[in-house]
Amino acid sequence: MVIGLQHYLILSAILFCIGLYGVLAKRNAVIILMCVELMLNAVNITLVAFSRYVVPAMLTGQVFAIFVIVVAAAEVAVGLAIIFAIYRGLEDIDVSKIDLLKW
């Protein structure tokens, strides 16, 4: 079996959907944050794969993936800080209970 572009894309799609499911369905804020990371990394796989297969001479996709990783690290830092703040206030990180914007 020759591993080609479509395999990478399928893997990426599977990871993205798992991440999306987690974001939409999980209650625990930390797990949601992890699922967001999963979605970002799914995107990273597509970026690197397209770069490798479509324009092999250039490193655009790889560079972009590194940027995403950097931003994701920052996002995790901010996200966790928010979760801490919420936990201090509500003593819970169940997002279904964080519904202060409710009518």
Partner 1 sequence: MMPHQVAWLIFLLPLFSFVFIAFFIRPFVKPESRVAGYITIAAIGGSLALSIWALFAVMAAPHHEIPVPDITWVVIEGGVTIHLGIIMDSLTAVMLIVVLVVSLMVQIYSQGYMHGDPGYHRYYAWMSLFTASMIGLVIADNLLFMFVFWEMVGLCSYLLIGFWFHKPSAADAAKKAFIVTRLGDFGFLAGILLLYLNTGTFDIHELHELAIAGALAGTVLTWAALGIFAGAVGKSAQFPLHVWLPDAMEGPTPVSALIHAATMVAAGVFLVARMFPLFEHSATALTTVAIIGGITAIFAASMGLVMNDIKRVLAYSTISQLGYMMLGLGAGGVAIGIFHLFNHAFFKALLFLGSGSVNHATGTFDMRLMGGLRKYMPWTYATFVIASLSIAGIWPLSGFWSKDEIVISSFASQPVLFYLAMITVFMTAFYMFRAVFMTFGGEYRGGDPNAHGHDSHHGQPHESPSVMTIPLVILAVLSIFSGLWNVTGHFGAFMGHGQTHGFFEGLFHPFTQTLPWIALILAGLGILLAYAMYSKSWLSAERIGGMFKPLYTLFYRKYWLDELYENIIVRNALLKGIFAAFEQFDNRVVDGTVNGVANGAIASGRAMRHAQTGQLQLYGLFIGIGILAIIFAIYFFG
**100 interacts with partner 1 by CB under 8 A:** yes
SS3 52: helix
Could you tell me how many helices (H) and strands (E) the chain has, helices first? 3, 0
Which of the ranges 20-28, 37-45, 56-64, 78-86 carries the binding residues for partner 1, by CB under 8 A? 20-28
Instruction: Tell me phi and psi for residue 94, to 5 degrees.
Output: -80, 115
Q: Based on CB atoms, which residue is closest to partner 1, 24 or 57? A: 24
**25 interacts with partner 1 by CB under 8 A:** yes
Q: Which of 24, 57, 77, 78 binds partner 1 (CB under 8 A)?
A: 24
Q: How many CB atoms lie within 10 A of CB 74?
A: 10
CB of 86 to partner 1, least distance (A): 12
SS3 content of the chain, % helix, strand, coil (to 5): 80, 0, 20
Residues that bind partner 1 (CB under 8 A): 20, 23-25, 32, 95-96, 98-103
